[in-house]
Amino acid sequence: MKSIIRILILALSLALPQAHAGLVSADAAQAAGDRERVKALIARPELARDIEKLGILPQEATARVDAMNEAEVRELAGRLDALPAGGAISNQELLLVIILILLLVIVL
């Protein structure tokens, strides 16, 4: 009786699917987060309209992001982080505006 139970337990353990766990690297986790950030940006209505004006459907742009490797996604997300927020001007542009104002004050 015990041998039959052991055979059944062995048979069941071989028949059940095995789960294998592995570690996820920090780079892969960051790339997944970056990929989701880029896809969320593409999903914004104003950007979706601009993309469509360029002849690319937002679904197609999302598929292109999915096709990128981790390094490409990380680079794109880095470029997005480096872009200035709306209304921001560079130091050179600010200096140019100040010079133009001074010239107008002097001339008038």
- Whether 38 is in a domain gets the answer yes
Q: How far apart are CA 31 and CA 7, in angstroms?
A: 47
Mean pLDDT (10-residue bins), the chain, 108 residues: 70 59 62 84 84 85 85 82 66 74 71
- Whether 12 is in a domain gets the answer no
pTM of the model: 0.51
- pLDDT value at position 85? 63
Q: Centre a 10 Å sphere on the Cβ of residue 34 and count the other Cβ atoms it contains.
A: 22
- Whether 107 is in a domain gets the answer no
Q: How far apart are CA 58 and CA 64, in angstroms?
A: 10
- Whether 31 is in a domain gets the answer yes
Q: How far apart are CA 61 and CA 46, in angstroms?
A: 14
Q: How far apart are CA 42 and CA 68, in angstroms?
A: 15
- pLDDT value at position 60? 87
Domain residue limits at 43: 25-83
Question: What is the number of domains present in the chain?
Answer: 1
- Whether 102 is in a domain gets the answer no
